[in-house]
A and B are shown apart, each in its own frame.
Chain A
Amino acid sequence: MATSNQSSKKPTGIFRLRQEIPGWLFTASGFAVPAIILLLWWGLTAGGLVRPLFLPSPAAVLGEGWRQLTEGILLRDASVSIYRIVVGWLAATIVAVPVGILMGNYRIIEGALEPLISTVRYMPVVALIPLSILWAGIGDGQKILILFLGTFFQQALMIMDNVKNIDMNLIRAGQTLGFSNGEILRRIILPAASPGIWDTFRITMGWTWTYLVVAELVAANEGLGRRIMDAQRYLATDTIIWGTLFIGLLGLLTDYLFKLGGRSLFRWHGDAR
């Protein structure tokens, strides 16, 4: 990439627009920023500049994590929360996939549902908690309902877009070859849209994670989100920070798993990086 003959004018190295950089540098920079934040955090707390009530030291937070792990709380919380997330997300997905696909292919269905879904998706899910309790009780069902509501509407619209974004000529080719509408849907539109839909799965799963605390806000005894809300009552800042970080970590892990899955499912797909 480097052009040697204009070395005097060339802005040095990594800060040229859209310039590729070595892979190790890309990865290293991703580790560097958290490392710097961690260092700052450590510096602030170690020097006694901030009281532990407001910001406990990294060691204290890790210690809290260790305590939860050894006492079995972490595993129990995590399994309860993951169960809710998976069921909530799956329920949303099972409905959103057919709805999104139909909306993407039939203008009449898009016309009928798009205004409704677009309105509902701006309604704050937190505000729906009272209704969700009224309708779904205080058990797991209510948590799953909240996760469903937080995920479904966005997801349906995104899947509609995934379907709409495929090359119209693929459908035309299918029509010319004599395939029926159903066959074109199943054998052309669906596979063509699948890498995009998979990416929507990955992104919406991230959103489901962010709704976890909201879902476990009321009437929950266990769960990663519940643990954080409880800690608020006792000003257990280390528990709050540990819980938040742990949810983030699990989210990152899910994201990574989806990326990995996508890469092996869609080897044929062009712009997978």
Chain B
Amino acid sequence: MTSMSRNIKIVIEGVGKTFRSGEASTVAIDRIDLSIAEKEFVSIVGTSGCGKSTLLNMVGGLETPTSGAISIDGRLVTKPGRDRGFVFQSYSLFEWMTVERNIDFSLEKSKLPKAERVELVRHFVQAVGLAGFEKAYPKQLSGGMRQRVAIARALVYKPSILLMDEPFGALDAQTRGMMQELLLRVWEDNKVTVLFVTHDVDEAIFLADRVIVLASRPGKVKQDIPIDLERPRSFDIVTDGRFTDYKRKILADIREETLKIMALERV
């Protein structure tokens, strides 16, 4: 769809991942082929154990594929790098640093002049709605606020790819909704390629240009569904007929996978 007209950013080619522990080996991902366009927002959904986090970690360079290859802008991924930003479910902030130090820490390797760093940090504190909390420590913040720091920290150094691993999974439903809207707002201003792992189907559709449904055990692409909904999106889109059509389709896919696993576990 839209991806065809844009430059290809990430190419995942024949990627498989097998975990070995002693004698036993588990095939987490069988074979995944995917192309992701520049500035595309892609959600990845699937049942637990489908390897979605593993896939994300491999794009991030935190894990190495057992087979196949991942490349970004035509260059092979071998290690983590500043072209990618990570947001984890567990927030993983530097607890001993204030909000602004947490964000500024991302810029230490950037060789930007001090004044520019200060300005960038200020800008992102504003962008994620944390003005007034610059000097606060993470433990003084709510879960939603912590995750906003994490998003600012991952975007401030202008990576071209943002990797998000169930970032809102630990938040309550209300906060989650607010964070989704905030993320879209920030993303509209800083268009980066986003890979967003979640198990919340509503969230996946609401945010993404494209939803990838992974099949489980071993993981592979089951469905690749372009989401043709106009942007900017507001939250009432979830009651739109087109939205519910997508949702029905994706839920059916996931249900099929869940049943498959349950059948496997029975034997």
The answer to whether the Cβ of A170 comes within 8 Å of any Cβ in the partner chain is yes
Contact of A176 among B86, B94, B97, B139 (CB under 8 A): B86
**Residue B80 contacts which of A175, A188, A269 (CB distance < 8 angstroms)?**
A175
B92 cross-chain contacts in A, Cβ below 8 A: 167, 169-170, 172-173
Q: How large is the interface on A (under 10, 10 to 19, 20 to 34, 35 or more residues)?
A: 10 to 19
Across the interface, do A192 and B80 meet the contact criterion of CB distance under 8 Å?
Answer: no
CA distance A178 to B105 in the complex (A): 11
Closest to B79 in A: A175
CB distance from B187 to the nearest CB of A (A): 19
Is B84's beta carbon under 8 Å from chain A? yes
Q: Does any Cβ of A come within 8 Å of B106's Cβ?
A: yes
Report chain B residues within 8 Å CB of A194: 96
- A270 in contact (CB, < 8 A): yes
**A172-B62 contact given A177-B82, A177-B105, A268-B139, CB 8 Å threshold:** yes
Chain B residues lying within 8 Å of A130, measured Cβ to Cβ, are none
Q: Does A179 contact B (CB under 8 A)?
A: yes
Provide the residues of chain A in CB contact with B84, threshold 8 Å.
176
Q: Are A268 and B95 closer than 8 Å at their CB atoms?
A: yes
Classify the interface of chain B: helix, strand, loop or mixed: loop
Q: Give complex CA distance A173, B81 in Å.
A: 10
Q: Find B95's partner among A175, A177, A179, A270 (CB 8 Å cutoff).
A: A270
B94 contacts which chain A residues (CB < 8 A)?
170, 188, 191-192
Contacts of B60 in A (CB 8 A): 172, 176
Cα distance A16–B109 when bound, in Å?
53
- B133 contacts A by Cβ under 8 Å: no
Best-buried of A169, A188, A266, A267 by chain B (most CB within 10 Å) = A169
Contact residues in B for A167 (Cβ distance below 8 Å): 90, 92
A65 to B153, CA, bound (A): 60
Question: Are B90 and A176 touching (Cβ within 8 A)?
Answer: no
- 14 A-B residue pairs with Cβ-Cβ distance under 8 Å, sorted by A, are A167-B90, A169-B90, A170-B92, A172-B86, A173-B88, A175-B62, A176-B61, A176-B62, A177-B105, A177-B106, A177-B109, A178-B109, A192-B94, A269-B95
Among all A-B residue pairs, the 5 with the closest Cβ atoms: A169-B92, A175-B80, A270-B139, A268-B137, A176-B80
Using a CB–CB cutoff of 8 Å, the interface residues on chain A facing chain B are 167, 169-170, 172-173, 175-179, 188, 191-192, 194, 266-270
